[in-house]
Amino acid sequence: MASKRLIGGGIVASVLASLCCITPLMALLAGTSGLASSFGWLDAYRPYLIGLTVALLGYAWYQKLRQEKQKACNCETETNPSFMQTKSFLTLVTAVAFLMLAFPNYAKVFYPAAKTQVSQGVVQDKAKTQTVEYKISGMTCDACTLHVANEVNKVAGILNLKVSYANGNALVAFDKSKTNIQAVQKAIQATGYKVTATNIQK
């Protein structure tokens, strides 16, 4: 019973540790963009949740190996345990937990059409082109930047786009005859992240 709690706790902790990066993908798949930033606040606790996951699963492994050693020493024979009590199940759970923890590192593979940097390569009339930096709060990983880029790319007239969660911004060049600052800002905020400032680039 105790080992089940440890395993369950390890899985829950690993999911919570990556929820801030999983949510943008789930929001995109569900078509509910505004939910993308719902769990961004968990990013501050990610190191602690990773530590908790490792500690819980580590202790579960310690208990499992100790039990097997005791059985070997006592030469006990007993009926076959259920799959959830086997080392195979614990191995599977550990693998899933570490895949969850590593999710922010490979989240971009789930966004094949989205790009954080876009350039259409067409020479535009400079008089019609405007470049604006949007300061954005709430982005914590590549999944966040890809989610923002995916929404901004839907706006007509986007010429160039660079989104960075590290810098907390999106640098967007667009055709003023097709869109404007407010339309791009609306697209960004539709993801649930907040535009805190706009700076027109010269």
3-state secondary structure 136-200: EECCCCHHHHHHHHHHHCCCCCEEEEEEECCCCEEEEEEECCCCCHHHHHHHHHCCCCEEEEEEE
The structure's pTM equals 0.65
Burial readout 90-113 (b: 16 or more C-beta within 10 A, e: otherwise):
beebbeebeebbebbeebbeebee
Q: Which domains does the chain have, with CATH numbers?
A: 2-106 (no CATH), 111-201 (3.30.70.100)
Mean pLDDT for the chain? 79
pLDDT digits (tens, 9 = 90+) for 143-200: 788 888 888 998 999 999 999 988 999 999 999 999 999 999 999 988 888 899 999 8
Positive or negative, the Cα torsion across 117, 156, 132, 139? Answer: negative
